[in-house]
Amino acid sequence: MKAREEKLKQIINWAKENPDIRTVLLTSSLVNPYAPVDDFSDLDVELVFEGMKPYESDKKWIECFGTPISMVEEDETFFDGKHAMKMVLYEDHVKVDFKLYEKSEFIKEVDGETLPEDWDVGYKVLIDKDDLTKELKPPTHQSIMIKKPTEQRFQQLINDFWWDTTYVAKCLKRDDIFYAKFMMEDVIRTDYLVPMLEWYIASEKEWNNITTNKHGRLFKKYLSPELWKQVEATFSGSSIEDNWNALFACADLVHEVGTFLAKKIGSPYPLEMENKVRKYLNEIKEKY
């Protein structure tokens, strides 16, 4: 994206001429070899200051790189005093997430025993006037790799999934679409389906350095067309019947993926519990 490249050049040139800025890093997807990049990918820029406070309180410097149309600010208290954030969307559609460090805090991060996750996924040093990054460890990318679950973690997830399907059923019977959607999307999809599909994909690759990026962005790439169709069936519209169909599609998906994973990690699958919960779900749908 040409506008993004030009924006980064502007930031680099401004930082070079600004004596308050000592180091500049580019992080996140643009320097992560495992992340998909397109025209909507953000610029994630870390600025290390000798005297950060004026830049944290004043927003005028943000306009050096274009006209903002929206901005979110988070001060040091939000990050336990380590850094501040200014996330800016510009009129040219480029979004820049500025992370602001005081030099002393940045040095503490560099000297830490392990890399912070933001750096472990990948970084590129753009400016370093004081050799602050000389001892910065190289990224391992391991923080984003899918790890094999313990048997306890797997069993807990399966148990919690079937437990929470009962809440969805009651909400649908009550015509309470807001709560039903919360349970399906915020809880079941995020807490259970996403990690389960991550484990499934990683298990097929023998748990060998595999990532599906944030919130399953690469699921479609790694899943078979047949399984992806099953995943799509778990998404629903606003009608109650549509949501019942999605709930049962979700149950079928968890059964298929869960039984596969149970064999892979050498753990029993709680089929008896599943059958009892399925009976309950059907009875709630049909009898009340």
Among 119, 167, 127, 104, smallest CA distance to 19 is for 127
- What was the pLDDT predicted at 78? 65
- What was the pLDDT predicted at 1? 76
Per-residue pLDDT of the chain (288 residues; tens, 9 = 90+): 799 999 999 999 999 999 999 999 999 999 999 988 999 999 999 999 999 999 998 889 999 999 999 999 988 766 777 889 999 999 999 999 999 999 999 999 999 989 999 999 999 999 999 999 999 999 999 999 999 999 999 999 999 999 999 999 999 999 999 999 999 999 999 999 999 999 999 999 999 999 999 999 999 999 999 999 999 999 999 999 999 999 999 999 999 999 999 999 999 999 999 999 999 999 999 987
Query: Residues 213, 163: one domain?
Result: yes
Domain that holds residue 280: 151-286
Choose the final residue of a domain: 116, 144, 172: 144
Query: Residues 53, 113: one domain?
Result: yes
Task: Report yes or no: 112 and 119 within 8 Å, Cβ to Cβ.
Answer: no
Query: Residues 31, 129: one domain?
Result: yes
Rounded Cα distance, 17 and 222, in Å: 45
Query: Residues 119, 86: one domain?
Result: yes
- What was the pLDDT predicted at 105? 93
Query: Residues 139, 155: one domain?
Result: no
Query: Residues 138, 257: one domain?
Result: no
Query: Residues 164, 279: one domain?
Result: yes
Query: Residues 262, 280: one domain?
Result: yes
- Joined together, the tokens standing for residue 223 give 């899943």
Query: Residues 94, 168: one domain?
Result: no
Query: Residues 23, 128: one domain?
Result: yes
Query: Residues 257, 206: one domain?
Result: yes
Question: Domain tally for the chain?
Answer: 2
* CATH code of the domain containing 31: 3.30.460.10
